[in-house]
Amino acid sequence: MTGTHRFRIDDLACQGHGRCYVIAPKWFDEDELGRGRVRDVSICPAELDQARTMIEECPEDAIMLGARRPA
C-alpha cells in the first residue's frame, strides 16, 4: 500500500471496549457513548505496521484500514 491511509470503524460492530482510543489516542477518540471514533488523521506508510497491529487489538474486528482519497 502506498500513499496515505485512514482508519474506519464499523459503528454497528463496535461495542465500546475502548482499546482503540486507549492504545492509539493519536488515531482514535471516544464518542459520547464510549465507542471508538476515528480522528481526522492520515496514516503514513511508515506507520502501516503499527496500524495493522491496532486493527488486531479490536475484539469485534470493527476497525478497518483503507486508502485515503486525495482532496
Residue by residue, pLDDT tens for the chain (71 residues) are 456 789 999 999 999 999 999 999 999 999 999 999 999 888 988 999 999 999 999 999 999 998 766 55
Q: pTM of the predicted model, to two decimals?
A: 0.82
pLDDT at 1: 42
Cα-Cα end-to-end distance for the chain: 18
Does the domain spanning 5-67 belong to CATH 3.30.70.20?
A: yes
The 3-state DSSP class for residue 7 equals: strand
- Locus of grid cell 465507542: 35
> What is residue 61's predicted lDDT score, i.e. its pLDDT?
95
Q: Residue 5 CB: number of other CB atoms within 10 A?
A: 17
Cross-strand partners of 34: none
In whole angstroms, how far apart are CA 15 and each of 18, 35, 41, 57?
8, 6, 22, 13
